[in-house]
Structure formats: C-alpha cells, structure tokens
Amino acid sequence: MRKSKILAKLRAGQPVKMAMLGHFVPGFVAYAAHLGYDGIWLDLEHRPMDAREIQALLAFFHLYDIDCVLRTPTREKAQLYRYLEDGATGLIVPHVSDVQSARELVAKTKFPPLGDRGLEGRGLEGNFGLDTRQTREVLVEHALRETFLVVQIETPEGLAVVEQIAALPGLDALYVGPSDLSVRMKHQPPAAQSDLAQTFARVKAACDANGKWWGSLPRSVDEARQLRALGAQIMVWGTDLTLLLNGLQQASIELDNVLGV
C-alpha cells in the first residue's frame, strides 16, 4: 500500500509543495510528480467529475507516486471514505464552521478508535485486495498512519471556534480559505472583523497548541513568502487554469513576435 509523501514531509518538519487540479488532465499528475511536487489538490467542490473520472485520475496518482488531496463536494459518510478506498491520500472539506461538523467528519473518515469509517479493503487503497488478503486490519493501521483529514476555515463562525476545532483528535490540519472568509468577514460587525494577518496568526496559534499542521492559498508570491514566514507548512501554488492561461499568453506573445503582429 502506498505511503503518503505529504505526511512524510510534515512529520519531518518540512514544508509541503502542492499544485491544484480541477479538470480531467492525467498529464498534469505526471508533470507535477516529475517536477517534485508532493501532492495535488483535486478540487471537486467547484469542478464536477463523474465517479469513473475520479477513479481514473486516482489511478494516475498512484502510478506516478504523488498524493491526491481531494476537496470534497459532499459530506455523505460512505462517499467520503469511498474516495479514500479509491486511492485519495487526504480529504479537505470546505466550509467547516462548527466543532460538531468537524467532529462528525473525523468519525466518517477515520477508522476506530478515532472514528467510525466503514472497512472493505478491495479498492485501490488496498491494492484491490492483494494487500488485505490475510487480514484487513493491515488496512486499518495503514489508513490511520498514511491518510489525513483537513478542514477549511473560511467563515467567521469557523474562525470563532478554531481553537476547539484544532483540538479535535483525528483532525490533522486546518486550511484557511482566504477568498470566502474575506467575502463573509466584511459583513460582520466591526468589532468582530479579522483581517487575513490576524486570521493566520490565530489559526497558527491554534494549530501549534494542538500539534496540527496548517496552510492557506496564497494569491501572490509575496503572500506565499509571508505564509511561509509565519510557519505555514502546506503550500499550494500552481493551478491548472492559471498555468494554461499563463502558458498560452506567453505562447501568443512569442508567436506575435514571429509573425510581426
């Protein structure tokens, strides 16, 4: 069974490099692995894929030995752990705004004693049953050690209880969603508002106090540097649409020069 590159880096105190993919582009998985990325954030919250497309992409993640951190479009229990059975290394769940929701996510995605995940063992996670023929207990031990759960803090309500969320056993990391949080924060009473710098400091403190990892999605290289200076361990940089646009823009400029346009 495959081991997580992201968890290996985090446990060694090293930062994690992740790209972001929202479309069915198997080559993107190969290129990211080739260039030394530890994982790819597969965004299914905003980008739809059918079940067979997801399974096919996850097979490429295993082929090229790179972690898939799947942002889920659902909180339905069986579907969440089916993503893990199909080969996702980690799950990231958006808009977690209260302690009970975070606790329920742990229960749905972690095996006992941390949670109440269902056990099967014949998916890609268990090498289609080849690694679980003698005992499925090996899958339980592997999943508890090599898969992880991240929740996104991207509402004022979630930020208000971030210390309690970070304290939950079985939750591995917190991730600040700056865009959603900024949109919502401006509608809070002035005394309740928090800018991004204050938010990052609060999330960092909550994670440091509870032995959890954290990160956010930077909007510029300068912001990425600021996050790293604060100690963020999970860095996402390089989205498929941005890379396509930048590459096409550069190619267009080069072709215009050749054509004399």
Q: What pLDDT score was predicted for residue 191?
A: 64
Task: Calculate what percentage of the chain has a pLDDT beyond 70.
Answer: 99
What band does 244 get if pLDDT is binned at 50, 70 and 90?
Answer: very high
Q: What pLDDT score was predicted for residue 187?
A: 79
Q: How far, in Å, are 52, 245, 248, 251, 252 from residue 258 at the CA level?
A: 43, 20, 15, 11, 10
Q: What pLDDT score was predicted for residue 154?
A: 94
Residue 29 corresponds to which amino acid?
V
Closest CA to 16 of 39, 46, 47: 39
**For 3, which DSSP code?**
P
Q: Does the pLDDT of residue 126 top 80, yes or no?
A: yes
**For 167, which DSSP code?**
T
Average model confidence (pLDDT) across the chain = 95
Q: What pLDDT score was predicted for residue 105?
A: 98
How many other C-beta atoms are found inside a 10 Å radius of the C-beta of residue 175?
A: 25
**Tokens describing residue 84:** 């893990």
Q: What number is the average pLDDT over the span 137-157?
A: 96
SS3 (DSSP) at 137: helix
Q: What Rg value do the Cα atoms of the chain yield, rounded?
A: 19
Q: What is the tally of structural domains in the chain?
A: 1
Poorest-confidence range of 14-23, 119-128, 193-202, 239-248? Answer: 193-202
Closest CA to 32 of 53, 12, 18: 18
Q: Give the structural domain span for 73.
A: 5-259
Question: For 189-216, what is each residue's pLDDT tens digit?
Answer: 776 677 888 999 999 999 999 999 999 9
Q: What pLDDT score was predicted for residue 184?
A: 86
Quick one: how far is CA 176 from the chain centroid?
Answer: 11
Question: For 59-106, what is each residue's pLDDT tens digit?
Answer: 999 999 999 999 999 999 999 999 999 999 999 999 999 999 999 999
**Tokens describing residue 25:** 């582009």
Angle at 75 between CA 80 and CA 23, to 5 degrees: 70
Whole-number Å distance between alpha carbons of 246 and 256:
15
Structural contact between residues 132 and 96, judged by C-beta atoms closer than 8 angstroms: no
Q: What number is the average pLDDT over the span 20-43?
A: 98
DSSP 104-132: HHHHHHS-TTT--------SGGGGGGTTS
Give first-to-last CA distance, the chain, whole Å.
54
CATH assignment at residue 139: 3.20.20.60
Structural contact between residues 138 and 178, judged by C-beta atoms closer than 8 angstroms: no
